[in-house]
Amino acid sequence: MNNFINIINAPWAIEPGKLLEIQAIYATRLRGEKIDLEAIEKRLGRPLANEPKAFDIIDGVAVLPIEGIIAKRMNLFTQISGGTSTQIAAQSLQSALLDPSVHSIILSIDSPGGTVDGTEALANAVHAARLQKPVVTLASGTICSAAYWIGSAAQSVFLADGTTQAGSIGVVSTHTDISGSQAAQGVKTSEITAGRYKRIASNYAPLSEEGRQTIQNQVDYTYSLFVEAVAKNRGVSTATVLRDMADGKVFVGKQAIDAGLADGIVTMPNLVSMLNKDRTAAKAASASAANRPKTRAELDQAAKNYMRSRPGTDYLSAVKAVERLA
């Protein structure tokens, strides 16, 4: 029972409507009622079994899906929403980095966000991955809250169309007082604690002002981490993030681009093509750099070779030509 309460009360970086949905599901458990999984399957039109996908490879580009509710581990949320475990997503990211057939990575995101726990670690892993291979985000549908925290860590953030929602940068935490529910069942829970703040916001009593302030302090601190991460990832100041992006608002399409949350609108095929063109250009630049004369002796030899292939060219002109070609 305590585990369910802790999940509900934990800080969330998620679109508010989706959090209410999740809380309704877990409130059923807290009331001692059995969750009708068959009814949920019928409503969803699919079985709840949610086997996580690693990634697909399209023309050398790994497409790593981050969809549904984001949580550290697979659980009831991910079963119902087809969600993502940050731990498994991090493992898939590492596999893509080690795969020699993959030269670039796309984070394909469609998520309203999820739990704060696990989000920062995955975002940091995405940011670090940029040092090994190009990593870009393509959002289709929704990239809000924790999903944006993660997606913004890529080198660029693109939207699949003009109706994709982005933002909802903020943190929410709730307190559930179950003392009334227990009393209705003839149950009273007494807690024995040590340490002033051990149960400052106990679920077995109404929330005190001190308990409320303690939760608010935690939410404010987590929010500051979120804002700082977005500022770092997007290459702007925290003041810019606070002014233009982080008031909890959801932006749609071009609004998100104008606010600085996204870099443009592009389809998956076109983004894959762009990454392959960038790859080709990078290889050509690398080959050119490798062939460039590095010492005075190499430059001298290259100039003489140029003169032999083009009779009548003087030495000074040959040196300039070699340097220009390099």
Listed by start position, the domains of the chain span: 2-275, 292-325
- Report whether pLDDT(79) > 50: yes
**pLDDT (0 to 100) of residue 46:** 56
Pick the CATH number of 2-275 from 3.20.20.70, 3.10.450.50, 3.30.565.10, 3.90.226.10: 3.90.226.10
pTM above 0.85, yes or no: no
CA 305 from centroid of its chain's CA atoms: 53
Among 31-45, 53-67, 250-264, 269-283, where is mean pLDDT lowest?
31-45
- Report whether pLDDT(187) > 60: yes
- Report whether pLDDT(30) > 80: no
Pairwise CA distance, residues 267 & 43, whole Å: 30
